[in-house]
Structure 1
Amino acid sequence: MDLELWSVRPLWLTVLAALWGAAAGLLVPRAAYRIAVDPDEAWRTRCPDGHVLTGAAGGWLGLARCPDCAQYLRDLRTPWSAPGDAGRVPGDAGRVTGGAVRVPGDAPTAYRYGPGTPLVALATAGACAGLALATGTRPELAVWLLLAPLGVLLAVVDFRVQRLPDVLTLPLAGLALVLLGAMALVPEHAGKWPTALFGSLVLGGAYFLLFLVNPNGMGFGDVKLALGIGAVLGWYGWGTVVLGTFAGFLFGGLYGLGLVLMRRAGRKTSIPFGPFLIAGAYVGLLIGAYAA
Structure 2
Amino acid sequence: MHTTVICASVLWGIATGLTLPGAAHQFAGAPGQPWRTAVRCGWRGWLTRSQDQPAWWPVLLTAFACAVVAQAAGTAPEVAIWLLLVPWGVLLARIDIRVHRLPDLLTLPAAGAVVVLLALAALLPGHAGSWPRAALGALALAGGYFVMLLINPSGLGFGDVKLALTLGAVMGWYGWRTLLTGTVAGVFLAGAAAAMLLVTGRATRTSTLPFAPFMLTGALAGLLLGATGGA
Alignment equivalent of 1:199, drawn from 137, 152, 166: 137
Q: Is contact 1:211–1:218 with CA below 8 Å preserved after alignment?
A: yes
The change in CA–CA distance for 1:270 and 1:13 in structure 2 (over 3 A counts) is: same
Matched to 1:38, the amino acid is A
Aligned AA (2:48): A
Partner amino acid, structure 2, of 1:55: G
Q: Is the Cα–Cα contact under 8 Å of residues 64 and 113 in structure 1 kept in the other structure?
A: no
Measured against aligned partners, the alpha-carbon deviations of 1:52-97 in whole angstroms (never above 9, x if no partner) come to: 82123xx66x3114xxxxxxxxxxxxxxxxxxxxxxxxxxxxxxxx
Deviations 1:189-243 (A, max 9, x none): 0000000000000110011011111111121111111111100000001000000
Higher helix share: 2
Which segments of structure 1 move beyond 2 Å, counting only runs of 4 or more?
42-46, 112-115
Q: 1: CA distance between counterparts of 2:62 and 2:178? A: 22
Question: Which of 146, 152, 177 lines up with 2:115 in the alignment?
Answer: 177
For residues 10-49 of structure 1, the C-alpha deviation after alignment (integer angstroms, 9 at most, x for no partner) is 2221111011011011111111001001243233479xxx
Quote the residue 1:152 is aligned against. 90
CA offset digits 1:226-270 (Å, max 9, x no partner)? 111100000001000000000100111111111011101112311
Conservation of the 8 A alpha-carbon contact between 1:14 and 1:129: yes
The aligned counterpart of 1:64 is 48
Q: How far did 1:278 drift?
A: 0.3
In the other structure, the counterpart of 2:70 is 132
Question: How far did 1:114 drift?
Answer: 5.4
User: Among 137, 162, 166, which residue is 2:100 paired with?
Assistant: 162
Give the TM-score of the pair, scaled to structure 2: 0.95
Aligned with 1:22 (options 14, 17, 20): 14
Q: Secondary structure at the match of 1:123?
A: helix
TM-score when scaled to structure 1? 0.75
| Alpha-carbon separation, structure 2, partners of 1:285 and 1:140 | 11
User: 1:43 corresponds to which residue?
Assistant: 35
Asked which structure has the greater CA Rg, the reply is: 1
Question: In 2, Cα distance between the equivalents of 1:266 and 1:209?
Answer: 25
Alpha-carbon separation, structure 1, partners of 2:170 and 2:146: 18
Q: Structure 1 residues 114 and 232, CA, compared in 2 at 3 Å: closer, same or farther?
A: farther
Matching residue of 2:54: 116
Question: Where do 5+ consecutive residues of structure 2 fail to align?
Answer: none
Partner Cα distance (1:262, 1:279) in 2 = 23
> Would you say the 8 A contact 1:184–1:193 is kept in 2?
yes
- Distance in 2 separating the partners of 1:113 and 1:233: 36
Q: Distance in 2 between matches of 1:264 and 1:114?
A: 20
Which deviations, in whole Å up to 9, do the C-alpha atoms of 1:86-133 show, x marking residues without a partner? xxxxxxxxxxxxxxxxxxxxxxxxxx2653211101100000000000
Alignment check: 8 A CA contact 1:18 1:125 kept: yes
**1: CA distance, partners of 2:119 / 2:84:** 15
**Partners of 2:130 and 2:36 in 1: CA distance:** 40
* Cα distance between partner residues in 2 of 1:113 and 1:234: 40
How far apart are 1:172 and its partner, in Å?
1.9
**Which of these residues, 190, 198, 205, is aligned with residue 267 of structure 1?**
205
State the percentage of identical aligned residues.
50
In structure 1, the gaps of 5 or more residues are 1-8, 47-51, 66-111
